[in-house]
Amino acid sequence: MAKTAKATKAVVKTEQVNPYEAMLERFNKAADILKIDERARKILSRPERIVRVNLPVVMDDGSTEVFEAYRVIHSTALGPSKGGIRYSMMVNEDEVMALAAWMTWKCAAVSIPYGGAKGGIKCEPRALSEGEKERLTRAYTAAMANVFGPDSDIPAPDMGTDDRVMAWIVDEYSKLNGNKFIPGVVTGKPLELGGSKGRKEATGRSVMLTTLLALKELLGENPEGLTVAVQGFGNVGSIAAKLLSQRGLKVVAISDRTGGYYNEHGILINQAILYRDQNDGVLEGFKGGEKISNKELLELNVDILIPAAVENVITKENAPHIKARLIVEGANGPTTPQADEILEDKGVWVIPDIIANAGGVTASYFEWVQNRRGHYYTEAEVNDRIDQIIKEAFERMLHKAFRHKVSLRLGAYLSAVERVAKGLELLGKF
Ligand code: GLU
């Protein structure tokens, strides 16, 4: 009882942001500047399709649980829709709608031939056994059999899902389609089943790459010795931390849902990754740094801050206390629109999610291409192609932002929204 009351109080205190409204606010700003056709604005303000299902799953103890699940297709104007599937207790329709739209803007911003989608199942993935997770994933795939498809809608991993989950989707989807092996229906697969070299590291890699580009082109600084704090130590945060420390930056703080760890001399990232992998995927008890809270991590006196966990962590409450000069968004939607304004006034550079973490979906694109061609690239080939695409998208963002004298986020939205609106027009949708 006391615990609930405390939790409610904490929620009331922080800024309440509906992620879909946060997305719309940025989209509308871009649409205003671009003066896009009002019919395009109308179409893009809503998802094309929302599929909501309740999935009954037999649990290990013989009981039956019913799970709330979604797949939202925001746009297919530029190609089949693309986007991950999230397993989390925070999943709800508005969140999945926002995440789906962000995929539309992300794919358009980096100019890969996809629309945007996202899926989600409201569950606590850590509380499920391997068998329960498999049955839930297969039930979800069966329910989405007419939505998913290599030419229509292509899922991938997101929070709470991984290559193992993607393998079950391939198997279930292939079974439902006359036992034809169809690896191109999902990306982020294990290498043995048509996954791509470099896919797992790709999101963290683009965070690293865009950090270095920003240091060089915006701050005019040498990366060597600059300090970094990374929030979130999953696939994105841990790889970004590793790659940045390999390039001479000093990662002084990391965190996950169990809290933060600070070491002014720099955290040994490989040691932290090993510790996490041997401890149920969490950093709890890690001795490589002094314990701090996630809140303290965001406000540390560092050069670079990398939010790589969930939405809405940089808010109007903490934005005034942020000391980093550069924020690189590994997570989707970590900064609220009000926080954006505060950071802009303070002169903090923010590399937006749709550019900074776009390496993941870009690698997914190359995985899908390899599946279709049946020809596989080396890791160096995949990385070179991804780096090239991210660099070009970064330059387009800068160009738009400087030309219109707007934030980098709006610059990225301008190039994305322009492209999608043009696609709709060319298709004759209005
Ligand atoms: N879930 C990742 C994202 O938010 C990857 C999506 C994909 O590869 O389709 O970008």
* 47-196 has the same fold as 1-35+197-358+377-430: yes
How far apart (Å, rounded) are the C-alpha atoms in residues 33 and 414?
8
Tell me the best of 103, 187, 200 to mutate to test the pocket of ligand 1, counting ligand atoms within 8 Å of each CB and taking the most. Answer: 103
What is the distance in A from the centroid of ligand 1 to the CA of 263? 31
Ligand 1 close to Cβ of residue 330 (< 6 A): no
Residues 84, 120 contacting (CB under 8 angstroms): no
Q: What residue spans define the domains of the chain?
A: 1-35+197-358+377-430, 47-196
Taking CA 312 as the corner, what is the angle to CA 266 and CA 396, rounded to the nearest 5 degrees?
80
Predicted pLDDT of residue 261? 98
Can you give the pLDDT at residue 14?
A: 56
Going by their DSSP bridges, the two strands 304-307 and 227-231 should be labelled as: parallel
For residue 409, report the distance from its CA to the centre of ligand 1, in Å: 18
pLDDT recorded at residue 365: 98
Nearest to 332 by CA among 22, 12, 60: 22
| pTM greater than 0.85 (yes/no) | yes
Q: Is 125's C-beta closer than 6 angstroms to any atom of ligand 1? A: no
Instruction: Evaluate: CB of 116 within 6 angstroms of ligand 1.
Output: no
pLDDT in tens, 148-186: 999 999 999 999 999 999 999 999 999 999 999 999 999
Angstrom distance (rounded) from CA 336 to CA 331: 12
Q: Is 355 in the pocket of ligand 1 (CB under 6 A)?
A: no
CA of 107 to the centre of ligand 1 (A): 10
Residues sharing a CB contact under 8 Å with residue 411, sequence separation 6 or more, in sequence order = 397, 398, 399, 400, 401, 402, 404
- The pLDDT assigned to 298 comes to 98
Return the number of other C-beta atoms located less than 10 Å from residue 14's C-beta: 14
Residue-wise pLDDT for 182-233, tens only, equals: 999 999 999 999 999 999 999 999 999 999 999 999 999 999 999 999 999 9
Task: Kindly state if the Cβ of 332 falls inside 6 Å of ligand 1.
Answer: yes
Catalytic (active site) residue 323: no
Q: Is the beta carbon of 84 within 6 A of some atom in ligand 1?
A: yes
**At the topology level of CATH, where does 47-196 sit?**
Rossmann fold (3.40.50)
Active-site residue, selected from the candidate residues 118, 133, 189, 197: 118
- What one-letter code names the amino acid at 20? Y
Ligand 1 atom closest to 83 (CA): 9
- Architecture per CATH, domain 1-35+197-358+377-430, reads as 3-Layer(aba) Sandwich (3.40)
Ligand 1 atom closest to residue 155's alpha carbon, by position in its atom list? 9
Q: How far is residue 251's CA from residue 131's CA, in Å, rounded to a whole number?
A: 37
Establish whether residue 163 lines the binding site of ligand 1, counting it when its CB lies within 6 angstroms of any ligand atom: no
Q: Using most ligand atoms within 8 A of CB, pick from 23, 203, 210 the residue to mutate for ligand 1.
A: 203
Helix (H) or strand (E) holding 86: strand 85-88
What residues in the chain have per-residue pLDDT under 50?
A: 1-13
- C-alpha–C-alpha distance, residues 391 and 395, integer Å: 6
Q: What is the pLDDT of residue 16?
A: 75
The set of residues, in sequence order, having a beta carbon less than 8 Å from that of 408 and lying 6+ positions away, is: 349, 350, 351, 352, 355, 397, 398, 401
How far is residue 80's CA from residue 328's CA, in Å, rounded to a whole number? 28
User: With a 6 A CB cut-off, is 187 part of the ligand 1 pocket?
Assistant: yes
Task: Report the pLDDT value the prediction gives residue 200, as an integer from 0 to 100.
Answer: 96
Index of the ligand 1 atom closest to the CA of residue 358: 10
What are the pLDDT digits (tens) for 59-91?
Answer: 999 999 999 999 999 999 999 999 999 999 999
Q: Cβ(77)–Cβ(427) under 8 Å? A: yes
